[in-house]
Structure 1
Amino acid sequence: MIFTPKTQQAIRFAIEAHAEQTRKGNDIPYITHPLTIALILSQAGASEDVIVAGILHDVVEDSDVELDDVLNEFG
């Protein structure tokens, strides 16, 4: 995976947003899902912005984070 300051910031943001969440049907931390997406995107040669979008893709839908929070943080 591409570890840049921006992707690391997105990972920290997603970890905080998805804290205490688990995958449906088990106790696996939810953050494993967006990190898996980021890895797949990275292996496919996606740009940094696409990888960040992959990391953050469920933040608004599945947490208390508002879209404006994501836009303010990542543009």
Structure 2
Amino acid sequence: MNKRIRQVHRWTAIAFTVSVIAAFIALAQPEPAVWVSYVPLIPLAALLLTGLYLFTLPYAATWRRTRRTADQV
């Protein structure tokens, strides 16, 4: 599961980068569509969720390890 989350996080980062570049290009047009500036928010939300999960993994492992040793004593 962790491997899949990391993979999703990496691909979402690529999608976010591409959407930001596309938004910059679209907004540089003479008649820019304002809604294009909101498109990068979708992959950014996914990056937030997967990033928070990946950030908490080491803390959760430490918490589980200390609980397991406390239960054995």
Q: Give the TM-score of the pair, scaled to structure 1.
A: 0.31
Larger Rg over CA atoms: 2
More helix by share: 2
